[in-house]
């Protein structure tokens, strides 16, 4: 049996880091409000020359180096983003060119904040069916470019960045129990109006700005995330007692606390980066994973739960033995 094993992780952030106090100079908000309601203290904002593709390529290079392989070994690139460089072609093909890979499969996945989980399930399926052997799975976003900087209810919440993993096919006999053990995805398109962008190529002919009814999204997030984690752990034949680390989508510290409590997980097992990255949509899970791998928390053999929920609504989880 073939398993998809994580060989390496990487991430990239824009050079400019913006504090809550700096934001409070532009909009009617305060460090106290943002920290108390969200846990966010800083976010990185892309500057001139920094795009979703450049951040994605930097994260991919770091993941390839950590995996100890060459870019030429990659035969599949799937990039999750809601902020592509262009309406088309796929940003994944731009990243492919930046990495100097002349022929591989490359495409984008659009599932907003759950995009990385969607990409993981797609790539895992392609690896296990024998279509791909060494794949880059990337989450990369420049949400700063679709924010309404006059709207204090949304503009303080998001940041830019990218995270990547290399997933490789390994015979389960040689994988030592490692690999993606289970994935589960959901979508419910009835909730489009709670979190969306008010523009698009086929409607307004513009890029549009992000709009969110935060309180309603919050309520759905806690219920959906706790339920999909329980469901995915059961698919893997595990319980919350088996979990070493949860690497959640980083939208709000209060959502992380509430979902961990619902599952009876100790807060120390939850990787938190929302304080330093804010919500980076599809990038947030692989960014947080890379932080926890590089600081030595997540180690080979650990059971790690990845989860996310976002616009659509879409939501999902993956259980990995790292
Ligand atoms: O990534 C996709 C998933 N996204 C999420 O999961 C986001 C989920 N939602 C949330 O994280 C929270 O709902 C928010 C952080 C967006 C908002 O927190 P909240 O506790 O639900 O606040 P609220 O929207 O109920 O607003 C409370 C008050 C309002 O004032 P009034 O009407 O009570 O007088 C807002 O106008 O806070 C006010 N407010 C602000 N005040 C200072 C809203 N934004 C700000 C701000 N600074 N930036």
**If the chain, 322 residues long, is cut into consecutive pieces of 10 residues, what is the mean pLDDT of each piece?**
97 98 97 98 98 99 98 98 98 98 97 98 98 98 98 98 98 93 98 98 98 97 96 97 98 95 95 98 98 98 98 98 98
Domain extent listing, the chain: 2-174, 179-321
Atom of ligand 1 nearest to the CA of 218: 8
Among the CATH numbers 3.40.47.10, 3.20.20.150, 3.30.930.10, 3.30.420.40, which is that of 179-321? Answer: 3.40.47.10
Instruction: Please give the distance, rounded to the nearest whole angstrom, from the Cα atom of residue 43 to the centre of ligand 1.
Output: 17
Rounded to two decimals, what is the model's pTM?
A: 0.98
Q: Closest Cα to residue 159, out of 20, 305, 321?
A: 20
**Residue-level pLDDT at 39:** 98
Closest C-alpha to ligand 1, atom 10: 214
Q: Where are the beta strands (DSSP E) in 133-214?
A: 134-142, 160-171, 179-187, 195-197, 210-212
Closest CA to 278 of 9, 8, 14: 14
Q: How far is the CA of 224 from the centre of ligand 1 (A)?
A: 20
Cα of 131 vs centre of ligand 1, distance in Å, is: 44
pLDDT for 175: 87
Collapse the DSSP code of 166 into the 3-class scheme (helix H, G, I; strand E, B; otherwise coil) and give the result.
strand
Ligand 1 nearest-atom number relative to CA 154: 16
Residue of 153, 188, 195, 223 best suited for mutating to test ligand 1, as the one with most atoms within 8 Å of CB: 153
Residue ID of nearest Cα to ligand 1 atom 47:
29
- Do 179-321 and 2-174 have the same topology in CATH? yes
Pocket of ligand 1 (CB under 6 A): 29, 33, 37-38, 113, 152-153, 156-157, 214-215, 217-218, 221, 251-252, 255, 279, 309-310
Query: How many A from CA of 254 to the centre of ligand 1?
Result: 12
What pLDDT was estimated at residue 150? Answer: 96
The protein residue with its alpha carbon nearest to ligand 1, atom 23, reads 215
- The residue whose C-alpha atom lies closest to atom 25 belonging to ligand 1 is 215
Counting from 1 in the atom list of ligand 1, the atom nearest the Cα of 217 is: 8
| Cβ 137 vs Cβ 283: under 8 Å | no
Q: Which of 20, 195, 218, 287 to mutate for ligand 1's pocket (most ligand atoms within 8 Å of CB)?
A: 218
> What is the whole-number distance in angstroms between the Cα of residue 199 and the centre of ligand 1?
23
CA–CA dist 245, 236 (Å, integer): 15
**How far, in Å, is the centroid of ligand 1 from the Cα of 40?**
12
pLDDT of residue 16: 98
pLDDT number for residue 195:
98
Question: What's the distance, CA 317 to chain centroid?
Answer: 11
d(CA 302, CA 242): 9
Which residues are tagged catalytic?
113, 249, 279
User: Residue 321 contacts by C-beta under 8 Å, 6 or more apart in sequence?
Assistant: 177, 178, 179, 181, 301, 302, 303, 304
Contact 265, 208 (CB under 8 A): no
CA-249 nearest atom, ligand 1: 1
Taking the domain 2-174, which CATH number applies? 3.40.47.10
């Amino acid at each position: 049996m073939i398993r998809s094993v994580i060989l390496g992780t990487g991430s990239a952030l824009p050079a400019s880091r913006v504090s809550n106090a700096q934001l409070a100079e532009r909009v009617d908000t305060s460090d106290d409000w943002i920290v108390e309601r969200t846990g966010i203290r800083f976010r990185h904002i892309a500057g001139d020359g920094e795009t979703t593709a450049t951040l994605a390529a930097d994260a991919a290079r770091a993941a390839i180096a950590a995996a100890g392989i060459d870019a030429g070994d990659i035969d599949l690139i799937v990039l999750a983003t809601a902020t592509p460089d262009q309406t088309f072609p796929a940003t994944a093909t731009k990243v492919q060119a930046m990495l100097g890979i002349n022929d591989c499969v490359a495409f984008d996945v659009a599932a907003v904040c759950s995009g990385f989980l969607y990409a993981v399930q797609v790539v895992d399926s392609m690896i296990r069916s024998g279509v791909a052997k060494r794949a880059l799975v990337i989450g990369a976003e420049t949400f700063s470019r679709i924010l309404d900087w006059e709207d204090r209810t949304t503009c303080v919440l998001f940041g830019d960045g990218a995270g990547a993993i290399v997933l490789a096919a390994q015979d389960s006999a040689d994988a030592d129990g490692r690999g993606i053990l289970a994935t589960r995805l959901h979508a419910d398109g009835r909730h489009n109006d709670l979190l969306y962008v008010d523009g698009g190529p086929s409607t307004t002919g513009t890029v549009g700005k992000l709009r969110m009814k935060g309180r309603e999204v919050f309520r759905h997030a806690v219920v959906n995330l706790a339920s999909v984690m329980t469901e995915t752990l059961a698919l893997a034949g595990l319980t919350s007692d088996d979990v070493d680390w949860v690497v959640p989508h980083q939208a709000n510290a209060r959502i992380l606390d509430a979902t961990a409590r619902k599952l009876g997980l100790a807060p120390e097992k939850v990787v938190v980066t929302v304080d330093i990255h804010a919500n980076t949509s599809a990038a947030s899970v692989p960014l947080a994973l890379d932080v926890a791998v590089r600081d030595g928390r997540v180690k080979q053999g650990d059971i790690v739960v990845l989860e996310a929920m976002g616009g659509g609504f879409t939501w999902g989880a993956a259980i990995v033995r790292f």
